[in-house]
Amino acid sequence: MNRSLTVSAPSAVPSAFRHWLAGAARLRPILDAAVHLSGFAEPRADRLPAALTVRLGAPGDAAVTVIDRREGAARTYRFEAGAADLSERIAAVAGGRGGMRAKVLLDPAACFIRCLDVPSAALPRMRALLAEELEAATPFRAASVYSDWFVEGEDVAARALRVRHVVVKRARLDPVLDALAAAGLPVGPVAVGRAEDQTLPVDLLSHGHRALPALLGGAGRGDAALWLGAGLLLAVAVWGWRAQQDATLAALDEGFAAARHAIVGVAPPVQAGLSTILATRAPPLARTWDALAAALPDGASALSLRLDGTGALVTLSARDEAGALAALGRVPGFGPPVLQGAEDETGGTRRMTVRLPRADRGGRP
């Protein structure tokens, strides 16, 4: 198998913003793995036609060559790479027509190119693997270079891939990218080759990722299918999340309802304590005295009254014992009287001790 992984480049932006984009690219390994698993063929971004091509020569060549093909026949302009007015000169070639995409072609001699044999299983995370190996085996740091890679071949028996890694220092490329950005010209791609028909399948602005801008225009069927599948997966994930939330809330409602049904008939702690207090509390003294005075007939009088939670113990003096007992049976909140003792007194009266049980624990005389 000989499969190349190339990408379209983002627009040229100032150096500080490009560094921010490089940091944001760390969030994209999942997309790289999805591209690998999809098996879709990708276009050769390095061979896409461009109205303007900017060429950078080998080290030692300080010239920047701008090729204009907008009118059919190619017109070539050469400028000094370090010129202070490089952006104005490129803008003059473009005729002030900002927004026109420019392709950058870099001589291979200005790049560090190496070949590595890596396990086939490493393909989904190839970009991270190459960055780690680059910092371990060379003086380069991933943050200070532009890079891309492609698969040259595969050893099926050994389950290994032959990968070519192309690296260039940012210091070599940034001045030209900044000049193009100042001229209002988006850049894409940054290819590597001695001629436009001899380029390697890389785009150094991709940082080894599957680029997204191609999906905004000129997207292939594979790209469209990939995004459609991603959208469907996202919709299914959101639907599943909402369904799980609904199921969780329904389970909570059922649990609360079952808990409420389980405690029906059991008095709450406060209510149970209040019931106990009321059951053991003696009847009100003043009201009981008033009730006795109202119930006793003429010729009978209460001598003493003792109250507790079970009722009242009354000592009274009466001429008519039967009438007095009958009257005590009509005292509100108490049951039938129980005569506990009686003795004769001087004057024809009887002294009686009568127990009045409470008719209702919660009743009041």
Q: Find out whether the peptide bond into 29 is cis, omega within 30 degrees of 0.
A: no
Residue 115 pLDDT > 90: yes
**Cα 77 to the center of its chain, rounded Å:** 53
Question: Domain containing 349: what range?
Answer: 279-357
- Judgement on whether residues 285 and 337 belong to the same structural domain of the protein: yes
What would the mean pLDDT of 192-208 be, rounded to a whole number?
89
Tell me if 30 is assigned to some domain.
yes
What would the mean pLDDT of 122-139 be, rounded to a whole number?
90
CATH number for 332: 3.30.1360
Higher pLDDT, 39 or 269: 269
- Judgement on whether residues 150 and 188 belong to the same structural domain of the protein: yes
- Judgement on whether residues 259 and 352 belong to the same structural domain of the protein: no
What would the mean pLDDT of 227-239 be, rounded to a whole number?
88
- For residue 202, the model assigns a pLDDT of 92
Residue in 341, 314, 342 with CA at minimum distance from that of residue 329: 314
- Judgement on whether residues 170 and 304 belong to the same structural domain of the protein: no
Residue 44 pLDDT > 80: no
Tens digits of residue pLDDT in 274-313: 666 666 677 888 888 888 888 888 888 888 888 887 888 9
- Judgement on whether residues 129 and 202 belong to the same structural domain of the protein: yes
- Judgement on whether residues 46 and 180 belong to the same structural domain of the protein: yes
The β-bridge partners of 148 are 166
- For residue 320, the model assigns a pLDDT of 87
What would the mean pLDDT of 218-234 be, rounded to a whole number?
73
- For residue 269, the model assigns a pLDDT of 64
Q: Are 193 and 46 in contact (CB under 8 A)?
A: yes
Residue 56 pLDDT > 80: yes
- Judgement on whether residues 206 and 226 belong to the same structural domain of the protein: no
- Judgement on whether residues 111 and 205 belong to the same structural domain of the protein: yes
Percent of the chain surpassing pLDDT 90:
30
Q: Which residues of 222-257 are buried (b: 16+ CB within 10 A; e: fewer)?
A: ebeebeeeeeeeeeeeeeeeeeeeeeeeeeeeeeee
Tell me if 7 is assigned to some domain.
no
Residue 331 pLDDT > 80: yes
E strands present in 141-269: 145-155, 160-169, 187-192
Number of domains making up the chain: 3
Percent of the chain surpassing pLDDT 70:
76
- Judgement on whether residues 174 and 258 belong to the same structural domain of the protein: no
Tell me if 258 is assigned to some domain.
yes
- For residue 41, the model assigns a pLDDT of 53
Local confidence band at 263 (pLDDT 50, 70, 90 cut-offs): low
- Judgement on whether residues 19 and 160 belong to the same structural domain of the protein: yes
CATH number for 99: 3.30.420.380
Residue 137 pLDDT > 70: yes
- Judgement on whether residues 157 and 299 belong to the same structural domain of the protein: no
Tell me if 309 is assigned to some domain.
yes
- Judgement on whether residues 261 and 292 belong to the same structural domain of the protein: no
Residue 113 pLDDT > 90: yes
Q: How far apart are CA 76 and CA 70, in angstroms?
A: 12
- For residue 104, the model assigns a pLDDT of 94
Of 195, 215, 235, which residue sits at a domain end? 215
Tell me if 33 is assigned to some domain.
yes
Residue 10 pLDDT > 50: no
Tell me if 9 is assigned to some domain.
no
Tell me if 274 is assigned to some domain.
no
Tell me if 205 is assigned to some domain.
yes
Local confidence band at 96 (pLDDT 50, 70, 90 cut-offs): low
